[in-house]
Amino acid sequence: MRCDDRVPVTVIAGFLGAGKTSYLNRRLASGDIEDALILVNDVGEVNVDVAAIDYRDDRVLSLSNGCVCCTLGGTLAEQLSQALRLKARPTEILIEASGVANPQRIADIARLAPGLELADIVVLVDASQAGRLALDAQVGELWRAQVHAAHRLLVNRLPQEDSARDQLLGWLGQLAPGAAVVTEPVQVAPASSRTTSSGPAFWQANGAGPSAEPFAERARHSGLTDATLHLRHSLVAEELQVLLERYRDCLFRAKGFVRCRLADGEEWRSLQLSGQRLAWQSHGPPATGAVLVCIGRRGERFTRLMEELAQLDSETDTAPMAPIGR
């Protein structure tokens, strides 16, 4: 039983693109969360996920540029300590972990920290990617650790066939003994969104060349790297999409905001790319400006993609975009 003076902490985890932000937004929209504090961890220079959280700005905090499960003595612990000293003490704390975080390490803080109590570890699983990720030489161990840590395993994008679905859920139950395995739909992209069998990528370029410090070294996730690209021009969405499709073999995730060039003008769109899916959606001008964040396999292929993305942005024949007011 929970002590009344302790603040419950829920860790929301899952691999890149599993649907964590969509799940969190559904919970917020349900109205059962009041006066909570939300900590959003994202890998990369710009926290794209925090911009997608539909909640009070003063109650959503960003933990960017690294994986909090590997810096437990730093940013995350400091934010949690500060949360307990807020004048308006939160009724609960929700932590959306990055897609490369081990939720068990994050949950250990709530178990040990004075004033906090671990309430739940919710792990999202994209069933369409589960088999591939579980066997992947670079990320398989991390993916299995995420699943194993779950108190509740929320599984989405299940196969349509009953036998395949039952077999998959049974296998996940074996990987997460003691966890409640629940089928959970993810938010469906609108009909105007594009879907492709592509994979993601991007990087940082402040008008200069590539500058991608591998987060795999910062976060100690072997074989992975991240990069952030600040776009200076509007782009043709189809050209960007074709480029990404050529590098699907080295990319796990891409997300961000792109100013897309159309026949009759321009339009801001969000880009979400995970596994086999790439979705575009109309979006208002983001506070981040035009930016793309990607996570992929460290190596020559990833570096080459970054170079081609920077070249695509630099070769466009439109004038550079004016900065968006913050």
pLDDT single digits (tens) 140-167: 999 999 999 999 999 999 998 999 999 9
Burial class (CB in 10 A: 0-12, 13-18, 19+), 281: middle
Domain 7-183 has CATH 3.20.20.70: no
Q: Note the pLDDT tens digit of each residue in 191-243.
A: 333 333 222 222 222 222 233 332 223 334 568 888 889 999 999 999 999 99
Q: Give the separation between CA 197 and CA 206, rounded to whole angstroms.
A: 30
Question: Please, what CATH class does the domain formed by 215-315 belong to?
Answer: alpha beta
* Cα–Cα distance measured from residue 255 to residue 134, given in angstroms and rounded to the nearest whole number: 23
Fold match, 7-183 / 215-315:
no
pLDDT of residue 302: 93
Domain ranges of the chain: 7-183, 215-315
Q: What is the predicted pLDDT for the residue at 195?
A: 31
Helix/strand/coil (H/E/C) assignment for every residue in the chain = CCCCCCEEEEEEEECCCCCHHHHHHHHHHHCCCCCCEEEEECCCCCCCHHHHCCCCHHHEEEECCCCHHHCCCCHHHHHHHHHHCCCCCCCCEEEECCCCCCHHHHHHHHHHCCCEEEEEEEEEEEHHHHHHHHHCCCCHHHHHHHHHCCCEEEEECCCCCHHHHHHHHHHHHHHCCCCEEEECCCCCCCCCCCCCCCCCCCCCCCCCCCCCCCHHHHHCCCCEEEEEEECCCCECHHHHHHHHHCCHHHEEEEEEEEEEEECCEEEEEEEEEECCEEEEEECCCCCCCCEEEEEEECCHHHHHHHHHHHHHHHHCCCCCCCCCCC
pLDDT at 72: 44
Which regions in the chain score pLDDT beneath 50?
A: 1, 70-73, 186-220, 319-326
